[in-house]
Amino acid sequence: MASRERVLSSLNHKQPDKIAIDFGATAVTGMHVNIVASLREYYGLEKRLVKVHEPYQMLGYIDDDLKEILGVDVEGIFPLNTIFGFPNENWKEWKLDSGLEVLVSEHFNTTKDDKGDTLIYPEGDTAVPPSGRMPKNGYFFDCIVRQEPIDEEKLNPEDNLEEYGLISDEELDYFSKKTKRASAKNRAVVLSIPGTALGDIALVPAPFIKHPKGIRDIEEWYMSTMIRPDYIHKVFEKQTEIALENLAKIKDAVKDNVDAVFICGTDFGTQNSTFCSEETYNELYKPYYKQINGWIHSNTEWKTFKHTCGAVKSLVPALIESGFDILNPVQVSAFNMDAKILKEEFGEQLTFWGGGVDTQDTLAFKTPKDVREEVLKHCRIFNKNGGYIFNTVHNIQGNTPIENVVALFDAVKSIN
């Protein structure tokens, strides 16, 4: 099978010729730029600086020569602007505290504070307050909360909608060209849809807006789902209305060059439980997800991709009812997220995209032998009868031993 056929076979719950692999197609299935650079060196590839395509998590772009070696079957298309509100263009050199030199967008503008932390700015504008902070010797940025004091009498849902609007002709042209080029590589294509993430806490602080209004503090947002549900409903209602109009335009622009769409990265789980009850999910989130997924399934052949970390087994039936086809990252290390049970109970309805190895413990801190054993175990469970795309439990972090990363890929190759 060619890569695209392999992925589509698995997405349709048919046994592929071998396990389909994704690395780099989404903001939650990638590798830190450190890892991409180290893999290029390990495999003796042409020496070149790696591009940081997702600056929030400092994810590195995986070039085709490395994709071929790793056996990657998926291409990813990201929105025109990054999470800090600027496009990736006119690359320039930049150095991490570790000394690693990388390439970043010309709009990737930073300063250092008195503690040695690196500050990054919305739209690259250093004349406004920074929206991201990378601790000294750190690996990625954290959002800086810039919320003004809340006046309950003046709270306006429109303020939490300022980033959502009708998609521009420039963005549509960008998606059209990018998806056409990606499809020509005969890999499956995943498009990250802008504006469909409902309450994603990576986006709530709006690191892409110079002076965000509304509820922008993460704790305040979570509390609002309980104490201000009417406010949240109004935000989601309007956001979904705009999203549906944009989906129609995006469909016309990308034609048949997309196979799956990344809808939402809103996390619903901690290590040990869910963030919200099933009742809250069904009341607050499900109606809007059903509208978005329903439109997609009625008008396209796309599969819909839902990312949520944590112990979310109790919410999986509701996620399926919401119309999601794909679950990621499949956090097998969280409570009640046993691979075998997940596959037995939901394997006919969901494609599991991830879950190959625990990145928090096994991949980061154990031996290559431990990594190999866990990868082989999970691949054999998840890949039975299709419905599985191999990836780790979330992105591979920057301080992961490279010998463990190589052991991961060697293990998958030994099955394939």
- How confident is the chain (416 residues) per 10-residue block, as mean pLDDT? 97 97 98 98 97 98 98 98 98 97 98 98 98 98 94 95 97 98 97 96 96 96 96 98 98 97 96 94 98 98 98 98 98 97 98 98 98 98 97 98 98 94
The residues pairing with 259 across neighbouring beta strands, listed in sequence order, are none
User: Nearest CA to 196 among 114, 290, 337, 126?
Assistant: 290
> Looking at residue 350, what is its pLDDT?
98
> Looking at residue 409, what is its pLDDT?
98
Please give the structure tokens belonging to residue 357.
């190895």
3-state DSSP helix/strand/coil % of the chain, to nearest 5:
40, 15, 45
- 392: buried, middle or exposed (CB in 10 Å: 19+, 13-18, 0-12)? buried
The residues pairing with 306 across neighbouring beta strands, listed in sequence order, are 264, 327
The one-letter code for the residue type at 73 is: D
Q: What would you measure as the largest C-alpha separation in the chain, in angstroms?
A: 62
Please give the structure tokens belonging to residue 150.
């809340």
Alpha-carbon distance 55 to 119, whole Å?
A: 12
Alpha-carbon distance 79 to 50, whole Å?
A: 20
End-to-end CA separation in angstroms for the chain: 12
Q: Please, what is the Cα angle at 271 between 268 and 274, to 5 degrees? A: 30
| C-beta neighbour count of 313 within 10 angstroms | 18
Helices 368-382 and 402-415 meet at what angle, rounded to 10? 40
Alpha-carbon distance 326 to 290, whole Å?
A: 14
- Could you tell me the domains of the chain? 3-30+69-84+147-415 (3.20.20.210)
Please give the structure tokens belonging to residue 297.
């399934």
Q: E strand or H helix at 352, and its extent?
A: strand 351-353
> Looking at residue 148, what is its pLDDT?
87
| Beta strand residue intervals within 14-109, DSSP E | 20-21, 52-54, 59-60, 74-77, 92-95, 101-104
**In 131-228, which ranges are continuous DSSP H helix?**
169-183, 218-227
Cβ–Cβ < 8 Å for 328, 354 = yes
Total residue count of the chain as it appears in this document: 416
Q: E strand or H helix at 414, and its extent?
A: helix 402-415
Cβ–Cβ < 8 Å for 313, 254 = no
Q: Please, what is the Cα angle at 269 between 265 and 273, to 5 degrees? A: 175
Alpha-carbon distance 320 to 84, whole Å?
A: 32
